[in-house]
Structure 1
Amino acid sequence: MRPVCTTRQGAVRGTVSADGTASFLGIPYAAPPFGPLRFRPPAPPRAWSGIRDATAHGPTPPKAPYAPPFDALVPETTIPGEDCLNLNVWTPSPGPGARLPVVVWLYGGAFTNGSASPSAYDGGAFARDGVVFVSPNYRLGADGFLHLDGVPDNRGLLDQIAALEWVRDNIEAFGGDPGRVTLAGESAGAISIGVLLSDPRARGLFHRAVLQSGAAHHVLRPETAGRITAHLAGKLGIAPTADAFAAVPLDRLLPAQAELRKDIATGPDPALWGEAVLNAMPFEPVTDGPVLPGPDCGVDLLVGSNREEYRFFLVPTGRLHRLTEEKLRSTAEAYGLDPDKALPVYRDARPGAVPGEIFDAMVTDWFYRIPALRLAESVPGSHVYEFARRSSAFDGRLGACHAGELAYVFDRLDDPQYAPVTGHAPPQALADAMHGAWVAFATTGDPGWPAYDTRTRPTMVFDDPAPTVAHDPRARERTLWDGIR
């Protein structure tokens, strides 16, 4: 018999899988963000009568496809339709009373791509292990993050807050405990959480957080965001206003916004792009600058990164062995490092490495690892991890790259959408350990290793043949960034 749960907007009917867990897909948590609601805060969803079928994923937010070669590496699903502010729920116990821990998942995609629909983000393994899993869509690109006068910034973050409010108001009907919500995300999803940790509108809506390969450092100041708006408007030949952007057909707007990263790469002028020139991300949360939460943020943290994050961007494109010493040195300087002092430190641990391999290590630190450590340092009791299992993909050169941990966290090593990144024969024992740690953290706040402190810096390293705790891994490289990042 198909399960039925009742939300504040109406009843929904889901499906039951072979292992007995239930899923409810495509449930609206906000009204369609089009027409008079375009570029506006999310509005409440419309109620319905009867029982709504929740057996298929709903529409996805508008986005351009990933550019090659990343379109073959990253799971992506596009489902047309305006009712894109919807979410999915997986639960082992549909109906009130169970009060199970809840995980709310925010996908990555550089704030221009991604959705909650790929099979890679199926929450069945979490439900199997006693966790109610929720995955919302949120607005991307210009609709979600373009800085426009007269409308609120960070509409994609407002969508995430609206989804969390839906969880607060409705998740008990699906067997969840609204007082035990873990907000988890990867890449742009984790960066979103880094901002929400200091947003008073989100306070109390989640109680634990998992930040994978993203923290609180990647934001755009309003003046930089305004320059990006002007550039995109000029590309489209329109005024830089919300009404003008709303009048542009999506088949023109989406390719234009996708070209912005290429524009930054081909003309990396800080006078034009501001701080976006350092990470080539024209769409990010708009704030007055990075803000780290204090010890009183009221949220338990599990935060970390992958050992060779930036290989994801260097290896498939062939840049790993084309990158020059000149580019390596100029990037170090742009980050505030002295290349004559910093680069030898990175080379000492990687004898014989080509410039691209040193570039990966340095950019991985700047973009991912150091922000994660700064976040852990700011909230006592945080737990820190590093994913170090090297993939066999691209003849082993892809390494422990960006997004490499996702198949293990979701315990979906057999999902073909992960195969291009995980490579051959990913170890199930590592998925058992990593997925188990995430479930334990969502359930108790303790993933199974000591909390981080600035004296011993314990870090769980997820690698073959078994995860181990390391104390202050690559300390010399970490200290290069003191006072800089």
Structure 2
Amino acid sequence: MNSLHRRDFLTRLTLATAALATPRYGFSNVSRADEFVEVSTTHGRLKGARSEGVTTFKGIPYAGRISGDRRFRRPALLEPWTGVRDALQFGAPAIQPPRRNEPAPAEDCLFLNVWTPASDNRKRPVMFYSHGGGFVGGSGASGGQDGSNLARNFDVVVVETNHRLGLFGFLYLDDIAGPDFAGSGNMGMLDIAAGLKWVHDNIAQFGGDPNNVMIWGESGGGAKTSCLYAMPEAAPYFNKASIESGPGVRMTPKEVAAETTAMLLKELNIAPKDWRKLLDVPAADLLAMQNKLPFVPPFQEKNRNQGMMRRNYGGFGPVVDGVVLPHHPFDPTAPAISQNKPLLVGWNEDEYTFFAWERKDTEFAKLDFESLPKKLEAQYGADAGRIVDTYRKANPNASAPDIFIAVSSITMMGLGSVDIAEKKVKQGGAPVYLYNFGYKSEKKIPGTDYPMGTPHAMDISFKFNNELPPRDGSAPKESFFGGNRPERFVASRHFAELWTTFARMGKPAAKDVPAWPAYNLNTRPTMRIDATCEVIDNRFSQELALWRSLGKL
């Protein structure tokens, strides 16, 4: 990961996320409807589309205008409407490069989507998902995260938001712009909190229980979930959480955010006292400037007295401003505000193969045990040899590329996940459950004979139960990452049932899956999710001992 420039990483991650959003699951912008369904909300009536046992409402506005003089501020009040508003097409995603099969990005992007089995006043669990794409890309309309199958097969209500991203959502102006712009460095997170409040006020009309809401998200969505878990403004509106392949242990200190703001103003030739000129810069120009600014490195290492600094998704992301985000989400401890809220946290076993795929990196597959230490030296220096020795001892049948993938994957997403689990246990409150997703795709990384395994983002279609045989009985199509093997359907069922049961009860469970013990610091149980699931105690014990000794955990 050290050789990957951060700007290139984020651009490619956004493009790869868009690729995953292609309509492989029959996800289109205009619904095919067996019938239309109307519901009342706090601001007016909505018309959604019902098809195959699920009603979908798309493009629901949950807050008001954020363009013009509302840029970098709290949204304007949402204006009520008269009559019935169509909720049949997705709303605009946040400012970013254009997204396939979605409306053009726009500043005014505060829309959400709802999938429900029925608007019948039943109190179903609500699964409120935050999309990935770091803090700079993605939307609540990405195809792999279509909520239809979760709603249909597990009787839950799924909600996904669009919210501000990049500098539109995370430009820190608090030091120079006055009280109207308080919290500016966290507007993207405050948008999500506003979406949660909308759910609290309205979801009963959609068949959901406002008092049983689970927040969850993958990659950047996992980091967003980490922040929500620590935010006073979000706290009243959710009851449990899941952080998936995106452990947000630490976020941007306000001093660093202020430096980024100063850099932006300098690049735009705007004096700090004239910061209001930012309100008149066209959105496209700000996006172009965002892409020119240097990014925070993928990993900011800790010193031993400071605590782990985990992944920071680019130069713009949530800011530890002492108010909206009072402290780092999981440093030095798990947030007291969510002490009594159960938590799931974990990662995919082969996270790094995603990044090899999107970078067209084939060189790692040619590594041998002579070249592997040299490959790791750029990031780990003199410790590279010790790392290789430890991993070879713990995994005697692993090849050199296997070890490179294992090292890269656990340092990207694993160490932060374990850190979060350990801190949650030490808090002595609600339980935390640690997992690894391990279903192996046989698809090869192009240009190599190396299989994808369990790459970053492959879990999305599995946990949304979008790995299913066709409903019409036709032959299954190849999954984007998941490959062709029919076992993927079983793994998807397990993943989705574990998560929906957790949403319902606060404890994950599924048919044909062993009982999943809460994490503890003695046996350290980890659920490995696959077509056959298993609980593994003290998993990666040798590897984690190594990373602790190196001050990485």
Fold in common (TM above 0.5): yes
Cα offsets for 1:343-387 (capped at 9, x unmatched): 321233455867765443233223311211222222241111101
> Which stretch of the first structure deviates more once superposed, 472-481 or 277-286?
277-286
Give the superposition deviation at 1:170. Answer: 0.7
TM-score (norm 2): 0.77
Q: Following superposition of structure 1 onto structure 2, how do residues 159-174 of structure 1 map, counting pairs within 5 Å?
A: 159-174=191-206
Identify the residue that residue 175 of structure 1 maps to in structure 2: 207
Q: Supply the distance in 1 between the matched residues of 2:403 and 2:422 (Cα, whole angstroms).
A: 26
Q: Following superposition of structure 1 onto structure 2, how do residues 10-409 of structure 1 map, counting pairs within 5 Å?
A: 10-18=44-52, 20-64=53-97, 77-95=102-120, 97-128=121-152, 129-149=154-174, 150=177, 151=181, 152=183, 153-239=185-271, 243-260=276-293, 281-287=314-320, 289=328, 290-291=330-331, 292-294=333-335, 297-319=339-361, 321=363, 325-326=373-374, 328-333=376-381, 338-350=383-395, 357-380=402-425, 381-393=431-443, 394=445, 395-409=449-463
- Tell me the SS of whatever aligns to 1:14: strand
Identify the residue that residue 9 of structure 1 maps to in structure 2: 43
| Change in 2 beyond 3 A, CA 1:457/1:77 | farther
Give the superposition deviation at 1:463. Answer: 2.4
- Tell me the SS of whatever aligns to 2:523: coil
Give ranges in structure 2 of 5+ residues lacking alignment: 1-34, 303-307, 321-326, 426-430, 471-475, 510-515
Cα offsets for 1:5-35 (capped at 9, x unmatched): 11111111111012x2211111111112101
Give the superposition deviation at 1:76. Answer: 7.7
Give the superposition deviation at 1:285. Answer: 1.4
Aligned length in residues = 465
Give the superposition deviation at 1:227. Answer: 2.9
Which residue, out of 459, 462, 471, partners 2:529? 462
Q: CA RMSD in A?
A: 3.1
Give ranges in structure 1 of 5+ residues lacking alignment: 67-74
> Which stretch of the first structure deviates more once superposed, 233-242 or 1-10?
233-242
| Change in 2 beyond 3 A, CA 1:279/1:407 | same
> Which stretch of the first structure deviates more once superposed, 52-61 or 392-401?
392-401
Give the superposition deviation at 1:280. Answer: 6.5
| Change in 2 beyond 3 A, CA 1:269/1:90 | closer
Give the superposition deviation at 1:135. Answer: 0.6
Give the superposition deviation at 1:340. Answer: 4.2
Amino acid at match of 1:46: E
Give the superposition deviation at 1:93. Answer: 1.9
> Which stretch of the first structure deviates more once superposed, 251-260 or 33-42?
251-260
Contact residue 112 and residue 258 of structure 1 kept, 8 A? no
Q: Supply the distance in 1 between the matched residues of 2:422 and 2:478 (Cα, whole angstroms).
A: 32
Identify the residue that residue 70 of structure 1 maps to in structure 2: none
Q: Supply the distance in 1 between the matched residues of 2:267 and 2:391 (Cα, whole angstroms).
A: 40
Give the superposition deviation at 1:412. Answer: 1.1
Matched, 1:430 2:430: no
Give the superposition deviation at 1:108. Answer: 0.6
Matched, 1:440 2:501: yes
Amino acid at match of 2:453: G
Identify the residue that residue 411 of structure 1 maps to in structure 2: 465
TM-score (norm 1): 0.87
Give the superposition deviation at 1:145. Answer: 1.4
